[in-house]
Each structure stands twice: as C-alpha cells, then as structure tokens.
Amino acid sequence: MFISSAIAQTAPAAASGGDVQSSLMGMLPLVLMFVVLYFVMIRPQMKKAKEHKAMIEALSKGDEVATAGGILGKVTKLGDSFIDIEVANGIEVHLQRSAVVQVLPRGSIK
C-alpha cells in the first residue's frame, strides 16, 4: 500500500528562491555556534598564550620564578630558549624558557 502511493507521487518542483533562504536559515545555528565557540574558547586561549609569551620574553636575571613542574627558583643565566634556575645554594637547574609559568614577587623565595 505504501509503495504504490510512493510511486504515484510526482517529482518535486524545481528549486526556487525561497529554498535558498531556508537553507541559509538552516545553517544559521551552525554559524552562531562557531561564533560562540570562538569567543568562549579560542579567543581567551590565544590571549593567554600571548601573555605567556610576553612574560617569558621579559624574564631577566634575578627574577624568582615557578616552573610547570612546581620548582621555585631564581634565574641565574638566560639563553635564547633555555634558562638556568638556582633552586638552592649552589644548585642550578637547566630548563626551557617555556617551562616557566609564573614570575613571583621578589623576596617570595627564602
């Protein structure tokens, strides 16, 4: 019964201008979702990365820093991509600059 009625149907009419508008309206939620995703996730992450890069470039000898591994120390030597941090009297650690996550206020490491 269903098959015979499906065969009896005529072909749909050619696409008109109204169909283009409805397809654009169908894509509107997808576009809005991407815009919200950009402002909620992508833009803040790019801003945070830019601030981190500026902090790493501004490092200077004598700064007290915290690393991604939780090591606290004072910067003793600076290179292009590596730094040396003194973690105790006479003990230095050689690290990548990108491992520094925070510059601490002076005098916070005793």
* 86 and 99, same domain (yes or no): yes
**Together in a domain, 22 and 54:** yes
Helix, strand, or coil (residue 11): coil
Regarding whether 49 and 64 lie in a shared domain, the answer is: no
Q: What is the pLDDT of residue 25?
A: 86
For residue 56, the model assigns a pLDDT of 95
Q: Are residues 65 and 92 in the same domain?
A: yes
Q: Is residue 4 part of a domain?
A: no
Which residues lie closer than 8 Å to 87 by C-beta, 6 or more apart? 71, 72, 73, 93
pLDDT at position 24 is 82
Residue 32 lies in a domain: yes
Residues 64 and 91 in one domain: yes
Which residues of the chain are modeled with pLDDT < 70? 1-18
**Residues 42-59: pLDDT tens digits?**
999 999 999 999 999 999
Same domain, 66 and 49: no
47: three-class secondary structure by DSSP: helix
Q: How many domains does the chain have?
A: 2
Cα 37 from Cα 77, distance rounded (Å): 41
The answer as to whether 34 is a domain residue is yes
Domain for residue 8, yes or no? no
> What pLDDT score does 19 carry?
77
Q: Does pTM top 0.85 for this prediction?
A: no
**Together in a domain, 36 and 70:** no
Domain limits at 49?
Answer: 17-58
Which helix (H) or strand (E) is 10 found in, with range? none
C-alpha triplet 8, 11, 13: angle, nearest 5°: 140
